[in-house]
Amino acid sequence: MISNPTSGPSSSEGHGIGPWGLSLSGVGIALPEKILANSDLTAWMDTSDEWIRERTGIAERRIGGSTSGLATEAARQAIEDADVPVDSIEQVILATTSPDHICPGTAPAVARELGLQCGAFDVQAACSGWVYGLVVANGLLLQGMNRVLVIGAESLDRITDYHDRGTGILFGNGAGAAIVDRDETGAGRLLSWDMGSNGNYVHILYAEHGDVLKMDGREVFRQAVTVMQTSATNSLKRAGLTVDDIDLIIPHQANIRIVEAAWKKLGFSMEKTEMVLEHTGNTSAASIPLALQSALDKGRIQPGTNVLFLGFGAGMTWASAIVRWA
Ligand code: COA
């Protein structure tokens, strides 16, 4: 059964989708070597390590590298992890808000580096982008594809002013990638998903051409808590699951206090939550796959584990997806 009704002017939803399952059969990440610690920032702005840790949960972030370079590195690791031939990939989806160029998209360059000439396009849904990409990948599998590469990659240092204490404390670079395979057994599955946007909030987080990110931090905070709550609730409802049925939550890593505030309303626990924010900062579209790799490294995901991915970002956009691990 394919179900894709719309419940409002800017909301799309899904539940119980498709005759086949889905399996994230390989994951990889890339982080540039150069660390920008909170203490480094104090040379350029009136802030402190203590303030940044307390108000955001961030201790350091990475800078350097390019979006295509980091994306390619993460993709290569994911391919190795899945142990599949590169040329079996039928589509490259790259979620990024810091593409190498305004035009063309960055995905074709990543495909080139991997030696591929398959379809390749960028998703620009800011920090929700990787979850959007995962849902789109599931759609392509339903159309008959067998294997899609979904990457989230950012070089946010190119659009971040590290002298501005409102934004410079938050953002960093990184990439994460997953090989998304059709699972004929149906054991692994995208149980439900939810995607939404509210263009009335474009002005609270944006970057003009050639300029850096501008943000109304307090308003982003408020909206983020609300949309995380709404989106997680929608996905749970569509999957017919309760909070207790979710084994692991992988939220967008923007600010630990946003996650804590949303969890208080949702009834989720931090124990069930994977966080990498402290050592990565906010890496936008890369943050969820970076945390996914961390959860896998810790053995937190096993066959049958119900994982909730939950993203939000500029736009505003939001997206959630519940995956039963293959
Ligand atoms: N270092 C030290 N002090 C700072 C500071 C910094 N980097 N930034 C702000 N302050 C000060 C302010 O000047 C203010 O001082 P005052 O009370 O004397 O006027 C005080 O701290 C509180 O400022 P406020 O802007 O209310 O801080 P905040 O608690 O909202 O924290 C953010 C600011 C940016 C950390 C927070 O709003 C945030 O994380 N918002 C969400 C941003 C986000 O996640 N964006 C990406 C979404 S994908």
In this structure, the number of other CB atoms found within 10 A of the CB of residue 296 comes to: 15
Dihedral of CA 86/87/88/90: which sign? positive
What is the CB < 6 Å shell around ligand 1? 47, 51, 55-56, 127, 165-166, 169-170, 205, 215, 217-218, 220-221, 224, 254-255, 258, 282, 313
3 state SS of 218:
helix
Q: Which atom of ligand 1 is nearest to the CA of 314?
A: 48
Residue 202 CA to ligand 1 center (angstroms) comes to 19
What's the pLDDT band for 17 if we cut at 50, 70, 90? low
- Global pTM reads 0.95
CA of 186 to the centre of ligand 1 (A): 45
CB < 8 Å & 24+ apart, contacts of 106-110: 106/67, 106/68, 106/71, 106/153, 107/151, 109/68, 110/68, 110/71, 110/72, 110/75, 110/151, 110/153
* DSSP per-residue string spanning 72-86: HHHHHHHHHHHT--G
pLDDT at residue 190, rounded to an integer: 96
> Ligand 1 atom 23: the closest Cα is on which residue?
218
CA of 24 to the centre of ligand 1 (A): 36
pLDDT at 19: 65
Residue nearest to atom 44 of ligand 1 (CA): 254
Ligand 1 centroid distance, CA of 218 (Å): 7
- Check residue 10 and give its pLDDT: 38
Quick one: which atom of ligand 1 is closest to the CA of 218? 37
Cα three-residue angle 212-217-219, rounded to 5 degrees: 125
pLDDT at 13: 58
- Dist. CA 258–CA 20, nearest whole Å: 35
Place of tokens 């660390």: 35
Specify whether 118 is catalytic.
no
Q: How confident is the model at residue 1 (pLDDT cuts 50, 70, 90)?
A: very low
Q: What is the pLDDT of residue 3?
A: 36
State the average pLDDT over residues 210-234. Answer: 98
How far, in Å, is the centroid of ligand 1 from the Cα of 251? 21
Query: What pLDDT is stored for residue 218 in this prediction?
Result: 98
Supply the CATH classification number for the domain 1-326.
3.40.47.10
Catalytic residue among 127, 138, 234, 255: 127
127 is catalytic: yes
List pLDDT tens digits, range 265-296.
999 999 999 999 999 999 999 999 999 999 99
Q: Is the pLDDT of residue 193 over 50?
A: yes
